[in-house]
Amino acid sequence: MATPNNATPTNCSWWPISALENDAGKSTEVEDSQDPTDPALRSKDRLVLYHWTQSFSSQKVRLVIAEKGLPCEERDVSMPLTEHKEPWFMRLNLGEEVPVIIHGDNIISDYNQIIDYMEKNFTGENVTQLIPDTGSILHTRVVQYRELLDSLPMDVYTHGCILHPELTTDSMIPKYATAEIRRQKCELWLCGCVFTLADILLGATLHRLKFLGLSKKYWEDGSRPNLQSFFDRIQKRFAFRKVLGDIHTTLLSAVVPNAFRLVKRKPPSFFGASFLMGSLGGMGYFAYWYLKKKYI
């Protein structure tokens, strides 16, 4: 079994095909414009990788190809230019994701399947074996580490650091890129740009904690500004104001209707009714002055 040190160097090109010229000095744009699924463009041993240089999954696949020392043609698919949504690429992968490998008549578009395919189909004395034989202790360890590291939400880390550079130290992300992405981003809710059930559940939970007097302990002390921003925004939604109303009138809105129900169900004596109505009037009066003093 070959080692990474004596593996044959990969024959991958590191720039987009459209940016290169062939030996005759002619642009290869003609080849790019052709259907990549056309059988005429594929040979039995030809290996073509469609990727984006900053795609984490693409980087891992490219490392596998390089470590195995395989000759490969690399085609750069620019995600910022949305080339992954163009018809020619969607014929390769309807999921609009990179990387995609073409080997002969086979098109593989799943990151894990690509690695397994490379390991299964590219073997030999001069090709590095990256996954040990099944049944060995080393194979079990490799599988465990693979599952553990693949479970890391690296896309979340990446986008989170782009949108919140203040959380990073010595980030390599250009400031202009961060500013542009933050300028274009939509109003974010718990699961993305769309308001969902998750936001309703979190909003109701925060409202109850606020009602119970726990808000200053958990987020209004400045320790969770994003949670504070979320609560401020969800309180402005029409449905939220219609159902839950202002946090300061929650108790009053629950007491008054129940009091009138009680009066209707069991009419009290004249004295009792007068006392009850007077109490309700006093509560309303004090509630009015409290809210006026607090907000006006």
Give the tens place of pLDDT for each residue, 58-81.
999 999 999 999 999 999 999 888
CA distance 18 to 73: 13
Residue of 290 and 91 predicted with greater confidence: 91
Mean pLDDT of 193-209: 86
pTM comes to 0.55
Closest CA relative to residue 46, chosen from 96, 12, 94: 12
Residue 279 has pLDDT above 60, yes or no: yes
pLDDT digits (tens, 9 = 90+) for 209-231: 887 888 898 898 888 888 999 99
Give me the mean pLDDT over the 36-40 stretch. Answer: 54
Which of residues 134 and 264 earns the better pLDDT score? 134
Concatenated DSSP letters of 129-182? --SPPTTSHHHHHHHHHHHHHHTS-HHHHHHHHHH-GGG-SS--S-HHHHHHHH
Cis link prior to 99 (omega < 30° from 0)? Answer: yes
Q: CA 97, CA 111: separation in Å to the nearest integer?
A: 9
pLDDT band for position 241 (cuts 50, 70, 90): confident
Helix (H, G, I), strand (E, B) or coil at 117: helix
Sign of CA dihedral 163, 166, 167, 169: positive
Task: Report percent pLDDT > 90 for the chain.
Answer: 33
SS3 of residue 189 by DSSP: strand
**Mean pLDDT, the chain, integer:** 75
User: With the CA atoms of 187, 193, 197 and 202 taken in that order, what torsion angle do they form, in degrees rounded to the nearest 10?
Assistant: -40
pLDDT for 35: 59
Model confidence at 277, in pLDDT bands (50, 70, 90)?
low
**Confidence at residue 165, expressed as pLDDT on a 0 to 100 scale:** 80
Model confidence at 24: pLDDT above 50:
no
Residue-range domain boundaries for the chain? 17-132, 154-184, 197-245, 252-295
Instruction: Please state, in angstroms and rounded to a whole number, the distance separating the CA atoms of residues 204 and 243.
Output: 10
pLDDT higher for 93 or 178?
93
DSSP state of 86: S
pLDDT digits (tens, 9 = 90+) for 70-117: 999 999 999 888 899 999 999 999 888 999 999 999 999 999 999 999
CA torsion through residues 288, 290, 295, 296, sign: positive
Is the predicted pLDDT of residue 265 greater than 90, yes or no?
A: no
Query: Rounded CA gap, 288 and 112, in Å?
Result: 64
Domain 17-132 belongs to what topology? Glutaredoxin (3.40.30)
28: pLDDT confidence band, cut at 50, 70 and 90? very low
pLDDT at 193 over 90: no
